[in-house]
Amino acid sequence: MSVPLSLTLKIWRQPSSEQPGGFVTYEMKGISSALSFLEMLDTLNEQLLAKGEDPIAFESDCREGICGACGLVINGVAHGPWPGCTTCQLHMRAFRSGETIFVEPFRARGFPVVKDLVVDRSALDRTVQQGGYVSVNTGSAPPANAVCVSKQQAEQAFDAAACIGCGACVAACKNASAMLFVGAKVTHLASLPQGHPERKTRVRAMLVQADKEGFGACTNTRECQAVCPKRIDVSVIARLNGEALKSIK
Amino acid sequence: MQVFRLFRPLATSVGQKCVMAASGLLLVLFVLGHLAGNLGVFSGRDVFNGYAALLHSVPKLLWVVRITLVVAFVLHVVVSIRLSIQNRKARGGQAYARRAWQTTSLASRTMLWAGLVLLAFLVFHLCHLTWGWVYPEHARLIDAEGRPDVYAQVVLGFQNVWVVVFYMLAQVALFMHLSHGFSSAGHTLGLNSVGSRVLRVGGVVLSGGIFALYTSIPLAVQLGVLLP
Amino acid sequence: MKLNAKIPPGPLKDKWDHYCANTRLVSPKNKQKYRVLVVGSGLAGASAAASLAELGFAVSCFCLQDSPRRAHSIAAQGGINAAKNYCNDGDNVYRLFYDTIKGGDFRSREANVYRLAQLSLPIIDHCVAQGIPFARDYGGMLDNRSFGGALVSRTFYARGQTGQQLLLGAYGALSRQIGQGRVDMYTNCEMQDLIVVDGQARGIVVRNLLTGDVDAHTGHAVVLATGGYAPVFYLSTNGLGCNVTASYRAYQRGADFANPCFTQIHPTCIPVSGEGQSKLTLMSESLRNDGRVWVPKEKGVTRQPGSIPQGERDYYLERRYPRYGNLAPRDIASRAAKQVCDEGRGVGDSGRGVYLDFADAIASFGRKTISSRYGNLFEMYERITGEDPYHTPMRIYPAAHYTMGGLWVDYELMSTVPGLFVLGEANFSDHGANRLGASALMQALSDGYFVLPATIGNYLTDLPADDNVQDAPQVKQTRQDVCERLQWISQVGGKRSPTWFHKKLGEIMWNFCGMSRQEKGLKQALSDLSALQEEFWKDVYVPHETGFNPTLDKACRVADFLQFAQIICLDALHREESCGAHFRSEFQTEQGEAARQDAAFSHVALWRFQQDQTAKRYTEELVFEEAQPTERSYK
Ligand SMILES: Cc1cc2nc3c(=O)[nH]c(=O)nc-3n(C[C@H](O)[C@H](O)[C@H](O)COP(=O)(O)OP(=O)(O)OC[C@H]3O[C@@H](n4cnc5c(N)ncnc54)[C@H](O)[C@@H]3O)c2cc1C
Ligand code: HEM
Ligand code: HEM
Ligand code: SF4
Ligand code: F3S
Ligand code: FES
């Protein structure tokens, strides 16, 4: 069932954030359409290693769309052409033989390039560290069923909590805004009674940090939602804004 | 300093967006009100000039409105330019070689440019109709009842094709600006319960209506429906 | 050295309380003077680091990934067990304890497993308080489902992403401590060695994966929570970064390795599709609640599944295990799949697959219900295979998934190196010879949130807080050892990539030490492995990059896997019985079921590193006072 593909890859290579980068062209032949996109790059890397060349740096870990480590901009779309799908889950069936594929890193000021296609996304972690949690010490929790959470609330919270922290939203946004990411966390916790006590401080602290990290403002262009592998809805951004407004009072 | 602490949320990008949305919506209100007034031109010289005279007969109110508008406008423009610069910076030095937009509309990507066209238009528009510097001869006209003949001023002005073209261009810019701006403001102000689809469609319909009605005036003059 | 599991006295159900009431504690004002190094930020590591920091200890935490949130715990799908008895179906702590002991085929320690069952209760309370969006019923209460062959519904879940949600909870707790400056987080850091000073674990040497810098960190205790080693089989359901390096280095520094051959093969994974594949994707076990497993009755049938009439299908799990049917435990379901494929009845291009068919479920519940239950899994399956499981049955095959074996620990989770604690999948754990579904998350969290914070004090109180080993010669020496090793690997200058060796290793392990093992095969594996290892050190190629060099990262891990694989095979060879996931074909009943040899093997096998690079076997006898070993029958 798998078909061999011939492809021209134009891959961004950059030795480090201080040095300039550029595209390098690679011709690939006989690539099985059953491979995933990253396995195709693995294959290319094995070929490069065999020639004694420096393999292409890119990130991945789980390779099943949940850890958020992977992320490439493929033909101008973060995570590539399949909607609701991470780069690691994209399979070569999505491409036709003879096609030219551009591969670039997630670009944003908040995501400096480490090498080639690897970028530093620690800014997202630092944003969470400012308040993307419930402050509960181990041992202090009440019995689990002591607080009711309606099914609807739980579902809403889950929809937002599904974010894998990949940063595709930032990469795709014309303003490199991280509001889908921040909005997802704020919505997740604001939807649950457990998140209420810190509602105001959380949203403010996370917003201040996101600004500090150099992410842009959201102008509601919704590109983030289109590339988000977990299909997080932009309504979380509206929710975030609402929470921010309420926090002034 | 206490005051600053209160306004600290406004210092965040979301706070600034709220300022833009609020000022933008205020400007939308003006655009709607202004439109309603302008449509009076179809009711004839008498009604239209009467309306204009009425406005000027309550100078206190007029100035309150004007000052509010100016403040909103200045805030809107200053903050929008500031944020646009910030947003551009946030993108980082290296642009994508390829960019295939999935949902982002042209309108949403060109808000600043549409805004700047509007700014240029407003300067011209004020010179034209408020201060009467473009056609000083039109601005001096007086109607039969001794009121400034705003009707003639408008209709005579739109005899010039280039003026009309510029007005139309500005209306296109306004349409683009509002077709995104309206729903955007809703989102910015946290209206997530309305449903973003309703907000978006509503925004496009509203701005389409504004476009159609505003352009009807210069078009009517050019087509000879409105005569001097 | 005498092994002492330090099991507290008293009746089983009082042991943990007894321990907690009598253990020694560090005085509050001294806590911040003690630094604990936590390696790993998965469920076990993140929960431990956060909880210790909450108590006031100074904590450093290390992980491989660019963010602590990406540890492989994130991938767990099914759920987490807890004996809450919310379903009123007769569950309680004892039953969870018993099921876990029996599931592990009576190869785990009663006291540990009982404690695990007890602590399952506060775990859920704590996770809910953290804002984890567990599934709820319409009344707003927590929902449960039955999972992995349990007769009660005790599994808490958050759609098919339970591990993700639990990890994000622990990551949130950890982030809070990092933000408040109480945990120093080191991301992109790989532990390369353990620093032992005067017989105590006092530090680690790490390599920064981005810069290549090699640094030593010292403290008062070291906690390993570095996960499992399933990628020793190359293809597995684990993440690409999962490795044995940290555990193996600790082993070389004196920490005994327990039951390395207990490796779990998960029955429901997407089959291998061909060359170049880098991992196997798990299809949640929950699918077996509605899917029916079958293969054609005859060999070599290549027709489309839809055109094979009912009479020509063999629903072999339902046939062989009428009571549990398609829900038979993992080891049993995996082995049964292998058997039918070995008989030539497997399906798919490779002949290594069985059908998991939803046609009947769709017919009785409707497509909509099935899609609401498994929609995301079906979508994932279609993405990977290009086939639509609503119309064609899924093809599944077992894949390496989880490792019950790990570093030996006592009741306090301390290894045979004083001051080295081991948590989560990295320790030899509470799962005996086979882990039941939804119990690994429970164990990782109980270790990290509750056990370690209660036990570490007992060790630290004996250590003066101002005892600083920063300048000890062992620190410099260990760092030196690491640098030299990195040098060696880079200087081999051969022709083959580390991945090539990893694949070869995987083949050997899968063929000879996978779902079914045999003396002859294991001996073959041992000789193949030492040949492969020799070849590795002659022919591996790593580019001479200083700094960022993923090929070097990989080469180091493969080198450790190669050595470690030999201990797995040795352990499998010496355990002359079948138990749980360890199936020695010489030891089976007439019906082909595992035949345990309790008289000779009712023990934990420990492997101790010898200076001449060999491994020596020791044992810890298992004593069963409450749960009497019985035949583990799921008929
Ligand atoms: C696909 C899948 C599905 C699963 N589903 C379930 C389920 O439904 N229910 C259930 O109970 N269990 C499930 N499990 C098992 C369970 O997820 C794991 O056993 C558990 O999460 C392990 O947690 P951990 O904290 O011990 O290790 P991990 O989460 O693997 O964390 C290891 C950590 O150590 C770090 N690390 C590793 N090596 C080094 C090193 N050398 N130096 C520095 N840091 C290092 C890593 O960066 C990581 O942070 C599943 C497992 C898989 C693979
Ligand atoms: C009649 C005049 C104007 C009206 C009615 C108007 C209205 C609006 C509205 C409603 C918004 C949406 C706010 C939000 O996103 O939350 C907006 C955004 C914006 N406006 Fe205006 N505006 C006007 C003039 C201008 C001018 C003169 C400029 C230019 C300098 C400008 C630049 C912008 C920019 C850059 C944005 C942000 C883009 C975005 O949010 O997507 N506007 N405007
Ligand atoms: C066909 C379209 C338009 C017509 C016929 C029109 C007509 C006029 C007239 C006659 C005046 C002068 C009123 C007076 O001084 O008594 C005026 C003023 C003004 N117009 Fe327009 N206008 C049009 C479009 C617009 C648009 C699109 C905008 C803004 C986006 C706008 C903004 C203004 C402003 C700000 C003033 C000054 C108001 C004041 O003096 O307080 N106009 N317009
Ligand atoms: S919101 Fe979506 S795109 Fe953004 S980080 Fe989360 S999962 Fe990735
Ligand atoms: S793409 Fe950017 S502008 Fe807002 S809606 Fe998404 S963050
Ligand atoms: S590698 Fe984990 S999401 Fe892609």
pLDDT at C311: 93
Verify whether ligand 5 is closer than 6 Å to residue A178 (CB atom). no
Q: What number is the average pLDDT over the span C209-221?
A: 97
Q: Region B70-82: what's the mean pLDDT?
A: 96
pLDDT at position B3 over 50: no
Rg, chain A, Cα only: 20
Identify the pLDDT of residue A149: 96
Residue C27 pLDDT greater than 50, yes or no: yes
ipTM of this complex prediction, to 2 decimal places: 0.96
Tell me how long chain A is: 249
Mean pLDDT across B8-31: 90
User: Best substitution site from B63, B69, B76, B125 to test ligand 3's pocket, by max atoms within 8 Å of Cβ?
Assistant: B125
Atom 18 of ligand 3, residue of closest alpha carbon = B130
In the sheet that C292-296 helps form, which strands lie side by side, from edge to edge? C263-269, C394-403, C354-357, C292-296, C313-314
Distance CA C232, CA C244 (A): 8
Instruction: Answer yes or no: is pLDDT of C604 > 50.
Output: yes
pLDDT tens readout for residues A58-109: 999 999 999 999 999 999 999 999 999 999 999 999 999 999 999 999 999 9
C-alpha distances (whole Å) from C510 to each of C248, C329, C396, C514, C559 are 20, 20, 17, 4, 18
Least CB-CB distance to B9: which of A172, A215, A244? A244
pLDDT at C628 over 80: yes
Residue B4 has pLDDT above 80, yes or no: no
Residue B5 has what pLDDT? Answer: 53
pLDDT band at C289 (very low <50, low <70, confident <90, very high): confident
Per-residue pLDDT tens digits for B141-188: 999 888 999 999 999 999 999 999 999 999 999 999 999 999 999 999
Give the CA count within 13 Å in the CB-facing half-sphere of C634. 26
Question: What tokens were used for C199?
Answer: 């017989």
Residue among A210, C219, C543 nearest B17 (CA): A210
Q: Where are the alpha helices (DSSP H) in C276-366?
A: 316-320, 330-342, 359-365
**Per-residue confidence band for C1, with pLDDT thresholds at 50, 70 and 90:** low
Lowest mean pLDDT among B21-30, B137-146, C260-269, C610-619: B137-146
| Chain A residues with beta carbon closer than 8 angstroms to that of C497 | 46, 49-50
CB contact under 8 A, A61 and C130: no
Quote the mean pLDDT of chain C.
95
pLDDT per residue over C69-95, tens digit each?
Answer: 999 999 999 899 999 999 999 999 999
Q: How much distance in Å is there from the Cα of B57 to the middle of ligand 3? A: 17
Q: Which of residues 338-377 of C touch A (CB under 8 A)?
A: 349
C398 Cα to chain A: minimum distance (Å): 17
pLDDT at position B1: 38
Provide the β-strand partners of residue C145. C155
User: Residue A154: its chain C contacts at CB < 8 A?
Assistant: 133-136
Of C125, C453, C543, the CB nearest to A144: C125
Active site (catalytic) residues of C: 330
Mean pLDDT within C534-544: 95
The band of B191, judged by pLDDT with boundaries at 50, 70 and 90, is confident
Instruction: Considering every ligand atom shown, identify the ligand nearest to the alpha carbon of residue A62 and give its number.
Output: 6
Lowest mean pLDDT among A115-119, A188-192, C492-496: C492-496
Provide the chain C residues 399-458 that lie in CB contact (below 8 A) with chain A: 449-450, 453
Query: Does the structure show a pLDDT above 90 at C11?
Result: yes
CA A104 centroid distance within chain: 14
Model-level pTM?
0.96
Q: Ligand 4: residues within 6 Å at CB?
A: A 163-169, 180-181, 184, 228-230, 232
Q: Pick the closest to residue C414 from C406, C405, C423 (CA basis).
A: C423
pLDDT at position B197, please? 83
Which chain A residues are within 8 Å of B190, Cβ to Cβ? 238-246
pLDDT at B215: 97
Q: Is C59 on the interface with A (CB under 8 A)?
A: no
B184 interfaces chain A, CB cutoff of 8 Å: yes
Nearest CA to ligand 5 atom 2: A173
pLDDT confidence bin for C593, thresholds 50/70/90: confident
Is C70 within 8 Å of A35 when comparing Cβ atoms? no
Residue B2 pLDDT more than 50? no
Average pLDDT over residues B128-138: 92
Report the separation in Å between the CA atom of C42 and the middle of ligand 1, taken as the mean of its atom positions: 6
- Contact indicator for C544, C491 with CB cutoff of 8 Å: no
Q: For the beta carbon of residue C534, count every other beta carbon within 10 angstroms.
A: 11
Structure tokens that stand for C554 in this block = 């990989």
CB of A67 closer than 6 A to ligand 6? Answer: yes
Scanning every residue of chain B, which has its alpha carbon at the shortest distance from the alpha carbon of A20? B94
C374-385, pLDDT tens digit by residue?
888 899 999 999
Contact: A244, B91; criterion CB under 8 Å: no
Packing angle, helices B2-11 and A199-212, rounded to 10: 70
CA nearest neighbour of A228 among A75, A59, A79: A79
Alpha-carbon distance values, A204 to A246, B21, B135, C44, C467 (Å): 10, 19, 52, 31, 42
- Please report, rounded to a whole number, the percentage of residues in chain B having pLDDT higher than 70: 94
How far does the centroid of ligand 3 lie from the alpha carbon of residue B129, in Å?
A: 7
Which pLDDT belongs to residue B168?
96
Q: What pLDDT is attached to residue C608?
A: 98
Query: Where do runs of H (alpha helix) occur along C213-358?
Result: 245-252, 316-320, 330-342
- Closest CB to B190: pick one of A77, A107, A241: A241
pLDDT above 80 for B194: no
Helix (H, G, I), strand (E, B) or coil at A232: coil
pLDDT (mean) for C544-556: 91
- Provide, as residue numbers in chain B, all residues whose Cβ is less than 8 Å from the Cβ of A76: 96, 98-100
Closest chain C C-alpha to A149 CA, distance in angstroms: 5
CA distances from C492 to B15, C544, C566 (A): 59, 11, 22
Chain B interface mutation, best of A25, A222, A227, A233, highest count of B Cβ atoms under 10 Å: A222
**C215: region left, alpha or beta (phi > 0 left; psi from -120 to 50 alpha):** beta
Candidates A43, A132, A155; nearest CB to C172: A132
Q: What percent of chain C has pLDDT over 70?
A: 100
Q: What is the CA radius of gyration of chain C?
A: 24
